[in-house]
């Protein structure tokens, strides 16, 4: 019966490529061309942010230059894509293009990238949006990604674990010191949710990691609220020189 319904749905809404809109044979996917053009991260990566690194590991923990220069308050982190080319277009469509359905395949890619850092007693939480921005954008793309990662991993999700009490401007183009100053005190644990992270590990989810300042403010808020360890997961990581 379900199979029949699926077939009918697919006949009415044939699956389309998320990158270009061409028809594809599998649902929630990319066509061959877009798949090749989407910079998925694989191989040896930075343990803190997930950027690809050249060479193989010798069993020791490795980090990229950026993470070594800015020690992170979180334990480990991963990213599914590099923020360039087709990945950038997918993220802009999810963020500003009113395409919330992109969160589903993105969550699948993120869950795959996060596999090495998933652990027991882990609670997934999105990076929060200030309510004024939420009202303008209608949805928090990070919350959609968190739900999707939760579905793929089977881990619990708390969409309002953290709250942003101050509407911070876009951080792009600011120095690290300016970002830190703006974010200090802007993000905190939801007073009625903080008990959920006591002694738990938190996996923070965001669409893009640039400097890591937002993740750092969120991770600090979790640790202050009694979280055991904090991990971060971004759909895409911006490389500094791109």
Check residue 117 for interaction with Zn ion (CB under 5 A).
Answer: no
DSSP 89-132: HHHHHHHTS--GGGHHHHHHHHHHHHGGG--SSEEEEEPP--HH
Check residue 19 for interaction with Zn ion (CB under 5 A).
Answer: yes
CB of 91 to Zn ion, least distance (A): 16
Check residue 113 for interaction with Zn ion (CB under 5 A).
Answer: no
Check residue 20 for interaction with Zn ion (CB under 5 A).
Answer: yes
- Asked if 230 and 73 touch (Cβ cutoff 8 Å), the reply is yes
Looking at the Cβ atoms of 10 and 224, the one nearer to Zn ion is 10
Check residue 82 for interaction with Zn ion (CB under 5 A).
Answer: no
Q: Which residues pair with 126 in a beta bridge?
A: 205
Residues with Cβ within 8 Å of residue 62, at least 6 apart in sequence: 44, 46, 47, 53
Check residue 34 for interaction with Zn ion (CB under 5 A).
Answer: yes
Check residue 31 for interaction with Zn ion (CB under 5 A).
Answer: yes
- Asked if 130 and 166 touch (Cβ cutoff 8 Å), the reply is yes
Check residue 214 for interaction with Zn ion (CB under 5 A).
Answer: no
Segment near Zn ion (CB under 5 A), from 57-65, 173-181, 201-209, 227-235? 57-65
CB of 124 to Zn ion, least distance (A): 21
Nearest to 183 by CA among 171, 173, 199: 171
Cα separation of 124 and 155, whole Å?
Answer: 7
- Count residues binding Zn ion (CB under 5 A): 11
Helix (H) or strand (E) holding 220: helix 213-224
Check residue 162 for interaction with Zn ion (CB under 5 A).
Answer: no
Check residue 48 for interaction with Zn ion (CB under 5 A).
Answer: yes
Residues that bind Zn ion (CB under 5 A): 17, 19-20, 22, 31, 34, 46, 48-49, 64, 67
């Amino acid at each position: 019966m379900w199979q029949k319904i699926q077939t009918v749905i697919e006949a009415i809404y044939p699956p389309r490529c998320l990158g270009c809109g061409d028809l594809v044979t599998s649902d929630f996917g990319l066509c061959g061309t877009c798949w090749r053009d989407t910079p998925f991260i694989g191989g040896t990566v930075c343990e803190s942010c997930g950027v690809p690194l050249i060479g193989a590991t010798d069993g020791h923990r490795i980090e990229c230059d950026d993470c070594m220069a800015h020690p992170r308050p979180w334990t480990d982190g991963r990213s599914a894509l590099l923020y360039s080319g087709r990945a950038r277009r997918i993220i802009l469509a999810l963020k500003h293009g009113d395409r919330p359905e992109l969160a589903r395949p993105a969550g699948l890619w993120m869950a795959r990238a996060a596999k090495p850092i998933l652990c027991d007693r882990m609670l997934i939480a999105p990076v929060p949006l200030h309510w004024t921005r939420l009202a303008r954008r209608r949805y928090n793309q990070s919350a959609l990604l968190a739900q999707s990662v939760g579905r793929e991993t089977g881990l619990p999700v708390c969409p309002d674990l953290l709250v942003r009490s101050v509407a911070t401007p876009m951080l792009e183009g600011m120095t690290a010191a300016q970002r830190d100053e703006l974010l200090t005190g802007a993000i905190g644990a939801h007073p009625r949710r903080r008990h959920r992270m006591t002694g738990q590990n938190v996996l923070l989810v965001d669409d893009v990691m640039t400097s890591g300042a937002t993740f750092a403010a969120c991770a600090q808020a979790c640790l202050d609220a009694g979280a055991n360890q904090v991990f971060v997961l971004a759909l895409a990581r911006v490389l500094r020189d791109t």
